Chain A
C-alpha cells in the first residue's frame, strides 16, 4: 500500500493503475483522450487534491447529488394556507394553535357528550352498504383538530360535526403578498437587470449564481435569511434556466459535483442534522475509503420505518421506493431509475401548487427534497442522477402560461417518454446491435446480472443461435444466480462459476458481455465490483470485452480509480455467510480495532480492457464516449 500511496501524489497518471493492470499490458490511453470540455480539464489535476477542486468549482446543480431544497422553512409557514390532504403534521398543528382566536374557545363545550354523540343506525340511509346483517353505522366526530379553513374532509360522515371557524389568515403566511402581476413585474425587472449585467461582464451574474448555489447546497443556511431574499434568488435560478442562457457559461458550471467527503467531520455533522434517515457510522473503516459514507446497516431501516407517519411532506410512493432502496429490494441501475421515476410520477400526479407559489419553483424544490431523501436511503447511481437532471430541466422548461393540470400532464408524459426512449427502446437497440456480434459456437461470458445482457442473450437464443453462456458470479449478492435461473428456464445452456475461477474458464470463452452502472468520459466503465477483474482477465486472454450500456448512463466525469467515488455496502454481508450458521470464524471480531471490513459495491474498469461499448447510438470504442456525452447532452438535456 505504501508505494502506491506515494505514487498517487505523482502527477504522472500512468502510475495510478490500482491493481487492474496486467504487467504485460502497459496502459497507453488512460489519459490519451483529453476530455473535450474545458471544465473537465480544469479540476482534473490528477493529484489527490482533485476532490477539493471539485468543491471549489462545484457551483452548479450536479447530476449525481442534488442537494436538499431550501424550502423547508418557508414551507411550514405556508402550511396554514395550503391544502392539506395528508394527515396533519404535528408542527403545523402547533403552529396553528397559537393563532386560534377567542371565538374558538367554546369548542370543548360544544363537544359535550350529551349533545355530540349521535349514533345514527339507519341502514336505509346508506343504500351503498351491501346486504350484510349489520346495519351501517354512522360516524360521529367527537374530537376535532382545528383545521385550517378549506380543508377537504375525507371521512366526514353525514352526522359528523365539523367545528371550523373562520379565522383570520395569519399575517406571517402572507409574507409575500405580491399579486401575480407584481411578481411578474419583479421578474421582468430582474431579467432586465441581468441582461445589463451580462453586457458588462460575467462577473455579476456569476455572483448571482453563487447565491443560488449556496442556497441550494446549504439549506441549513439558506433557511435563515429572510424568505424574500430566498425567493429572489430562486427567481434568478428559475429564470436562468428558462431564459436566455449563455451555453458556455452553463457548461462551465457543469463541473463534477462536490460530493460529500465523509471524513470531513464538520460537514458530516451538518448533514446529519438534516438527515431523515438515522445514520450511525461504522467505527472501523478502511483508511482509503473513509471519505465514503458507511453506516451501520440494520439500524436505518427500523428507524425509518418508525417514522413512517411523521415524514409528512414525503409522498408515499417516494417513501416506498426509498424503503426498497434501503432494504435492497430494488437494485440495478435501470430498475432503480424506473422505480424512482414511477414514484415521481405518482408524486407529480398528486401534486398541487400551494397558493402564492409557482409550480416551476415549488415542484423543483419538492423533487429535490424527494431526491435528498432517496440519497439518504442509498447514494444515487449515475443513471438516476442523469434522469433527475432531465426531469428538473423539463420542469424548468415548462412555459409559465401552462395551467397546473397541463403542466402535470406534460411532466408525466415526459417521464414516460424518458423511460420509453432512454431505457426500453435503448435496450432494444442495444440488443439489436449486440446480437450481430454473437455467432454460432460462441461461448459468452457475463458477470453479475445486467438487464441489457440478459435481453441480448435471450434474444440471440430466440434467433436460434447456438452458443453457450458462462455466468460468473461473486459473493455476497450472488445476483448471477437470478440471471442464471431465468436463462436456464428459457433453455439456454449455461455454466455457472464464481469469479475466483474466471482465469480458468476464460480459456474457452470467445466473448465477454458486461453491463455497466455508468460509462465515464475517459472510457472508464463504472460497474458492479468484480467487473474490472473479469475484464482484465479477458484482456490478458485476448478475449473481446463488450460493454452494454444505455446512453443515459454516460457521464462526463473522469475517474481513474474506484476510490474517490464508490459506494460501501454492508460489511456484515462479507463477514457472514447467509444460511450457514456454522461459518462463524469472524464472530466477535467485527468490532475489533484492528479489523476493518471493506465491502465495495462498484469498481472502475479502465478503458484499455474494453474493446467496445454497445450503446443505443451504436457500437463505439471507449475513446468515443465523450462524443456521445456531448451530443447526448446537447440533444436532450440542454436543449
Chain B
C-alpha cells in the first residue's frame, strides 16, 4: 500500500526513572511481562505491516532492543534498527533516518503506545482525504486506579492528565488546531483565518494525541529540512502543519502537483483542467477549496494542504506509557479489561504455588515463579523466575523478573524492578524500587523511590 512504518521507540525517559536503567531501556520496560515495544510491533504485525524501521535513542539501547527483536520476532517481521543520539527529539530522530524514507506515505508510531486501534484505519483516512498529515486522536484515559479503595495516597497521583487542546471542524474530519503539553499553560492562539474559512470549530480537551501519525513523505521531508529547529513531532511539526494548512508554502503542494502533471501529460492541458474540474465538482467541497479559490472561482491562488484526524472509537483501548502512573494503569488494564491485547495466556505454564496461596483475578504470573504458603496476590503482575516466600501480600503492584521476596513482606501499589531482593518483613507502599536494589530486613517505606546508586 506504499506505506513505510517508523516506530519511534525512544530510549531513556526521565519520567520513568527509576524503572528504566541502562540495561532496561524504555522500549524493553516490561508491561505484563512483555516489553512495551512488543505491543506496538504485535499490532503492526497483525495489520500485515512487516517492514519496520525502529528508531532507538542511544547505541546501547539499540543493541538491547535489536537483540530482543531478533529473538522475539525472528521470522515474522523485517525490522531495521536505527540508533540515533539521545536528546534530539522525535523530529530529530526522523531527520536522522529521513534518507531511508522512500514510500509515498509514512506512518510514524510511538513505541510506547499500547493500543488496539488498527493502524490501517489511520492510513486509510489519510489516503482517502489525500492529507498531508493525519493524527490519531483517542479519548483521554482515566488515570489512576478505578477501585481505589486500597490507599488514600492514590488520589494524589490521580491528577488530571495533561490536556491536549484540539480543534476540529464540524464533521470531525479535519484538524484545525492542536496544542499539546507545555504549550497549554501559556495562552493558546487560534488561527483567525482558519476559523474564518471553516466557520465553526469544535474545541475538545477530552482527546489525546496518541502519537500515531501518517505523513505524506514529501511534506514531512520538506518540513524536516526547512525547519532545523523543530525538535518534536508532537509539539513542533504537527502544530506547524496544522497552523499553515491554508497557506502552506508553495513547495508543499508543488511536489504533488508536479506528480499530477506527470500523470496527465498525454491529455492536453485544457482537457486536464476540465477533468480535474469535473472531479472537484463531484466531491463535497471541504473548507479548503473555497479558500483556495479566487472570489470569481477560477484560479487556485493559495496552496493548501489537509490535516486530518482519525478519532478512535471510545470503545478501543489506547494509552501511552509515558509516566509511572500510566505504567501502573497499563499493567492493570492489560491483565484486566484490555486483555485482548495479549494473545497468549496470562498465568505462565509452571508457577509453583504453596498451600493456601490465593491469586486473585486480573493477575499475571510469569513462568518459573515460585510462591510460598499463604500468600495473597491481587491485581498484580509478577514476572518470571521470582521467588516469593510465605505470608507475602502483593496488591496492585508490578513485580518484574528475578525478584526475591522474603517471608512476610507486604507490597502495595508499588513497582519492583528486576533482580531486586526484598528481605524478610519489608513493607512497601506506593514505592518504586529500581533494578538490583536490596531492601534490608524489616524496613518500611511509603511513597519513596528506591534505586541503587550508580557507581
Residues of A within 8 A of B (CB): 86-90, 93, 97, 107-108, 111-114, 116-117, 119, 121, 126, 128-130, 132-147, 154-157, 160, 302, 304-310, 312, 314, 316, 319-320, 323-324, 327-332, 334-336, 338-339, 342, 345-346, 412-413, 416, 419-420, 423-425, 427, 449, 451, 454, 482, 486, 489-490
Contact = CB atoms under 8 A, between A and B. Distances in A.
B275 A338 contact: yes
Given A86-B1, A87-B1, A138-B83, 20 more contacts: A112-B67, A112-B70, A132-B224, A137-B82, A141-B79, A141-B81, A144-B75, A145-B78, A154-B4, A154-B102, A156-B80, A302-B121, A308-B47, A308-B123, A319-B1, A331-B282, A332-B281, A335-B281, A335-B282, A424-B271
B263 to A, nearest CB: 7
Interface stretch (B124-132, B331-339, B362-370): B124-132
Nearest to A123: B96
B124 A304 contact: yes
B119 A143 contact: no
Instruction: Describe B's contact surface by its main secondary structure.
Output: mixed
B74 A107 contact: yes
The 5 closest A-B pairs by CB, nearest first: A113-B67, A308-B120, A335-B282, A305-B124, A119-B83
Contact of A146 (B48, B75, B80, B295): B75
Nearest to B272: A424
A89 B82 CA distance: 24
A423 B284 CA distance: 21
B96 A334 contact: no
A413 B1 contact: no
A489 B297 contact: yes
A129 B225 CA distance: 9
A312 B51 CA distance: 14
B96 A136 contact: yes
Given A112-B70, A130-B225, A142-B80, A449 B281 contact: yes
11 contacts: A89-B48, A107-B75, A136-B97, A139-B82, A154-B4, A308-B123, A309-B120, A312-B48, A319-B127, A424-B267, A424-B275
A155 B127 contact: no
Given A134-B85, A339-B279, A119 B62 contact: yes
A346 B104 CA distance: 14
Nearest to A335: B282
Interface core residue of A147, A309, A486 (most chain B CB under 10 Å): A309
A282 to B, nearest CB: 21
Interface core residue of B68, B102, B127 (most chain A CB under 10 Å): B127
A160 B80 CA distance: 7
A579 to B, nearest CB: 8
Interface core residue of B2, B100, B285 (most chain A CB under 10 Å): B100
Interface in B18-51: 47-51
A66 B178 CA distance: 46
A119 B85 CA distance: 11
Nearest to A415: B266
Interface in B66-93: 66-71, 73-85, 88, 92
B95 interface: yes
B73 to A, nearest CB: 5
A486 B281 contact: yes
Interface string B158-176: 0000000000000000000
Contacts of B284: 328-329, 482
B70 A306 contact: no
Contact of A111 (B1, B2, B70, B128): B70
A413 B264 CA distance: 10
Contacts of A139: 53, 80-82, 97, 100
Given A133-B228, A489-B297, A490-B297, A116 B1 contact: no
A561 B51 CA distance: 53
A119 B92 CA distance: 17
Contact of A330 (B82, B279, B296): B279
Please classify how large the interface on chain B is, using the bins under 10, 10 to 19, 20 to 34, 35 or more.
35 or more
A336 B225 contact: no
B51 A87 contact: yes
Given A306-B121, A307-B120, A490-B297, A142 B79 contact: yes
Given A141-B79, A416-B266, A316 B1 contact: yes
B283 A143 contact: no
A405 B275 CA distance: 26
A140 B127 contact: no
Contacts of B283: 324, 329-331, 335
A155 B51 contact: yes
Interface core residue of B51, B82, B124 (most chain A CB under 10 Å): B124
B1 A154 contact: no
A588 to B, nearest CB: 21
B67 A117 contact: yes
Interface string B288-330: 0000000111000000000000000100000000000000000
B254 interface: no
A194 B41 CA distance: 56
Given A145-B50, A330-B279, A126 B128 contact: no
B282 A140 contact: no
B282 A135 contact: no
A419 B282 CA distance: 16
Nearest to A327: B128
B127 A145 contact: no
B94 to A, nearest CB: 9
B47 A142 contact: no
B128 A324 contact: yes
A141 B78 contact: yes
Contacts of B51: 87-88, 154-155
A228 to B, nearest CB: 31
A86 B82 contact: no
Given A113-B66, A117-B66, A338-B278, A137 B97 contact: yes
Contacts of A302: 121, 313
B121 A305 contact: yes
B81 A117 contact: yes
